[in-house]
Structure 1
Amino acid sequence: MKERLIPNEERVAEEDAIPPALIAEIRDMGLFGMSIPEEFGGLGLTMAEEVAAAFVLGQTSPVFRSLVGTNNGIGSQGIIIDGTPEQKATYLPKLASGEMIASFALTEPDAGSDAGSVRTSARRDGDHFVLNGTKRFITNAPHAHVFTVFARTDPATTNASGVSAFLVEAGTPGLSVGPHDRKMGQKGSHTSDVILQDVRVPADNIIGGSGRENQGFKTAMKVLDRGRLHISAVCVGAAERLIRDSLAYAMERKQFGEPIAGKQLVQAMLADSRAEAFAARCMIEETARRKDAGVNVSTDAACCKMYASEMVGRVADRAVQIHGGAGYMADYAVERFYRDVRLFRIYEGTTQIQQMVIARNMIRDAAA
């Protein structure tokens, strides 16, 4: 992170691409397979170990973490938990090595937080399904080798109960990828539309069993906790980087005859940021340990995602303020981080969705 990634942050942002040599190094370190079991060539990290790694990766541009994020998260965990032996043997070793990059195709033009309203259709045709629809804002889509595509297999339903998850390889006739989206931040991490036009997919490619329809969201729900904790840890890493940069600047920048770090109002911003980042780190470490122990942490994982993503937004705002006019200039990393971290409150479940999950679970547990 210190020797290879941070020195290349500005280059990646300017070129909107990660240099191939860096991708090769990331692949050689095994970072594409952190959460994939060792029997399939991955590192097999526990949840506690994975968040420890994410704390470090988060201290550089989120783009680098995004490159490996889907392979370690929603792109592989559904296969690990609910995939058939054939699916595991086919995809997991290649995902772990980085030979294949996974992409998770759920969001649509009219289906985001209300993910159960997907309109992409999957019509049965013998031992195949024919998929039609458009997916939007799909991370790593331009580079993906395999997509987890959510499509409605029961047209009579209007909610998640009629949705299935399919493994669709890039290059399948009828599958195409749109141009890169122009985003506020995270340059170098590419998203785009995924268009499916009469894409024929074997029924065996449904995650959860050969031809076993309408199980897609049950599989997706099983992998949410790990993804939420991973993203939360990345938020903490980013916050700690911002705090470090802000403290260094405040100790060097002089106003009124002394470093601004000596000013109490600047100290207050530094202290608030440090306390909030520490609180988030403690939440995540404890929840990860409990998950590894087999405890149901769904509510706590949602708390972590909600708090950590909101926290890093506040820390980024203070970092720009501490830097003053310099913080608004692209010469300093805080300007880029200010834009980059804004996405954390939106993807992998918005803050508002986390609030709904937390409150719903509280009410359910109180009524039990």
Structure 2
Amino acid sequence: MTDLTLLSRRAHDACATLAAHTEVPGEITRTFLSAPSRDVTAFLTAWAHELGLEVRVDAAGNLRARRAGPTPDAPTLFLGSHVDTVPNAGAFDGVLGVTLAFAVAEALRGEALPFALELLAFSEEEGVRFGVPFIGSRALTGTLEPLLTLWDARGVSVLDAIRAYGLDDAALPDAVVQGGALGFLEFHIEQGPVLQAAGAAVGVVSAIVGQDRVLLDFTGQAAHAGTTPMGHRRDALAAAARFAVAAEDLARVTPGLVATVGVMTARPGAINVIPGSAHCTLDLRHEDDAVRAGALEALLNAARTFAEERGVTLDVTHKMAQPAIPMDASFRDLLRAAAAQEGLLAPDLVSGAGHDAMILAERMPAAMLFLRSPNALSHHPDETVNPEDVDAALRVGVAFVRALAAREGAR
């Protein structure tokens, strides 16, 4: 019998190995189709060949390692996550989900399965290079084309990047999932405090929150700070500041809602000049689209009120409206049962961040298993994970696949 503890250690240690492949010495930075991506692909390809898997890199740069099913028309179970990073990242975000997928495949190497197994290492999820995420997983759902004309900071388009990497963009249709898709399971660190507070090694994601991203531009009148009485001012920054506080206040009293004003700038930006214009952003998230929509309406109405009170105009630009994505109920049941089988507490929790699973959920049943994030720290060089939690996640993943095989084999 395969030693799962040794395999979980292999998955854990592989993250440290892959962390060395970086664009910036001394930190972990690996963006879409950067040179270090080739080293990551080579490492995972060697592991896949060791397991006897068929390997290809699709036209979006995703590494795909496949174990064929018992028949040509057998459906496919997909496992994986992404291998790109944010700037100056930690070693486990995304990558651990890939190495755990490989560990699951290694654990099940000698077992018959009634479906094919395909391991996915998505080339891009973070949105760092081109400002829009999920280039890798969108290739599998056939929704990548609108992103091909996006440009990075150096004036290179997504399409140019694909060609410069030596990939054939004409083959992008071949990246789309064909045939029966049984579903997708993604392992990922939580990146938050819920599991740590619950004392749980792993948790089952119930839904990935919906998001609104909005830009607000307040325009008043710049004027002398000493000679303009308070009642005569058209202070754009004061209106924007009231909005930022209102967003925080509403989120604090609305269960599950998070609201962030992450950017605020004012012009002309002098200590003795009343701000004539102010720009700010709003990031609003909730697992219930109706709650999120109601909160957005309330906050924009408040912003208009704050502007009107000061003789300030307001322009609103909606940048993104992403609906909440529930995870597949049957897969969640299997994950909970697998955790119970291993004697593990696996509470349900909502993902406040976006993940590849939300993209693949458009095409197939999708589920996520979160691992505890010590100190809730992620997107940071000190990001870490407990080795015993990696072991727990692997055991749950293996039990999940076995349970799924038993279910499908009985049909």
- Normalised by the shorter chain, which TM-score bucket? under 0.3
Q: Which has the larger radius of gyration?
A: 2
Q: TM-score, normalised by structure 2?
A: 0.25
Identify the structure with bigger relative contact order (alpha carbons < 8 Å, sequence gap 6+).
2
Counting helix residues as a fraction of each chain, which structure ranks higher? 1
